[in-house]
Structure 1
Amino acid sequence: MKILFVAPRFHTNQVQIIKILLEKKHEVFFHVACIGATEDHSLVKPICYKQSWLSRLIEKKFDKGQSNKRFYFPDISAYWKAMKQLRPQIVVIRDPYKLFSQLAAFFALLIKARIIFYTQEDLLRSRSRKALLKQKLTINFFRAAWITPIKSSNSREEKGWHRYIYHVPLPVNICPEDACRKDIPNEGPKILMIGKYHQERKKHMLFLQALDNLKNRYLFSATIAGECANEEQLTRFMKIKAAAQDFELDDRVELKQNVPFNQMSTLYASHNIFVLPAVNEPYSISVNEAMGYGLPVICTDTCGTKINIYNGDNGFVIKSDSLEELTTSLESLLSNYRKLNQMRIKTLQYAREYLSGDAFYLKFARVTRERFSIIIN
Structure 2
Amino acid sequence: MLLETDNRFSHLTALRVLILVLILGLAGTGASVANSAAFVRSLWPEAAARGVSRSAFDAAFANYTYLPKVMELTRKQPEFTSTVADYLNKRVTDSQARKGRVMRSEWAQTLAGAAQRYGVQPEIVLAIWGMETNYGGFMGGNNTIYALASLTEGGYRSSFFKSELLTALRIISDGNVTPANMVGSWAGAMGHTQFMPSSYMRYAVDYNGDGRKDIWKSVPDALGSTANYLNSFGWNYGETWGYEVKLPTGFDYDRARATGKVSIATWEKMGIRRVSGRPFPRPSDVTRLYMPAGATGPVFLLTPNFDVIKRYNNSDSYALAVGHLADRIIGGGDFATPWPAGNYGLNASQRVELQQRLNKAGYAVGSADGVVGPKTRAAVIAFQKRNGLPADGYVSGLLLNALKR
Larger Rg: 2
Q: What TM bracket, shorter-length normalisation?
A: under 0.3
| Larger helix percent | 2
TM-score normalised over the length of structure 2: 0.22
TM-score normalised over the length of structure 1: 0.23
